[in-house]
Amino acid sequence: MSVASSAAGAGLPSAKGAPSVLVVEDDPSLATQLVRGLSRGGYRVDHVMTGQEALASGDPDVVLLDLGLPDVDGVDVCRRLRERSDAGIIIVTARGEEPERVLALDAGADDYLIKPFGLAELLARIRAVLRRIRPGGEVLRHGPLTVDLRTRKVTVHAREVALTPKEFDILECLASDPGRVMTRQEILESAWDAHWYGPTKVLDVHVAALRRKLDVPGLIETAYGRGFRLGEV
Ligand code: CA
């Protein structure tokens, strides 16, 4: 059974051109969470529940591979995927499966996650794998937002938004780790200078302009007294 769970299926605008992730997971509730989280993260997502289906699937950019599958041994799936594909392979294992994890890394997996893991960590690992696969072409994604670090092009719901260099740098900083509060100091150091000693009011002015241009309520949240972060939208 192949459940084609696209971003559109999750009620979000379809992430055309977004990297694709194949989730190979036989636990339905975990799979549902992963599909939802990855769709929200801006990825195109497909889900299969068996090793056979994973091997019969197309050519995703990243495979999230559960090692404990009902049919084919996960390590075997990993090896056979690697023989025919350059996809980033991130294996997902339970705590007790260390020998299998080592075998899977030897069989060509790029990285691994141990259950239970958080969505933020998963998204960070996927970004890291994509950076290795597509060097220099990294695009940060968060909900309707894309930030292309190479071309410095920003889109919201596929609409291009013209930003000043400072606005772009601030957004890049926030989008590098969506959900985490970036302190005012961190943002200033990343967008201005390694050692910013000037007034920080300037940051609020730029953030206000950014919010106006992006025009997505709740996208840039204020963490009072601390800084800013990208919120769930
Ligand atoms: Ca399993």
Instruction: Kindly write down the DSSP assignment for every residue of 91-160, as one continuous string.
Output: EEE-TT-HHHHHHHHHTT--EEEESS--HHHHHHHHHHHHHHHSTT--EEEETTEEEETTTTEEEETTEE
Q: Are 184 and 203 in contact (CB under 8 A)?
A: yes
pLDDT confidence band for 9 (50 / 70 / 90): very low
CA of 137 to the centre of ligand 1 (A): 33
Q: How far is the CA of 17 from the centre of ligand 1 (A)?
A: 30
Q: Residue 15 pLDDT more than 90?
A: no
Ligand 1 centroid to Cα of residue 26, in Å, is 5
Q: Which domains does the chain show, CATH number per domain? A: 20-133 (3.40.50.2300), 139-230 (1.10.10.10)
In this prediction, residue 58 carries a pLDDT of 87
Averaged pLDDT, 187-207: 80
**Spacing, Cα 141 to ligand 1 middle (Å):** 28
CA of 181 to the centre of ligand 1 (A): 33
> What are the phi and psi torsion angles at 12 (to 5°)?
-115, 160
Q: What is the pLDDT of residues 106-123, one digit of tens each?
A: 999 999 999 988 888 898
What is the pLDDT at residue 214? 97
Q: What is the whole-number distance in angstroms between the Cα of residue 180 and the centre of ligand 1?
A: 30
pLDDT band at 206 (very low <50, low <70, confident <90, very high): very high
**111 residue type, one letter:** D
Q: Give the per-residue pLDDT at 17.
A: 63
Distance of CA 187 from the midpoint of ligand 1 (Å): 40
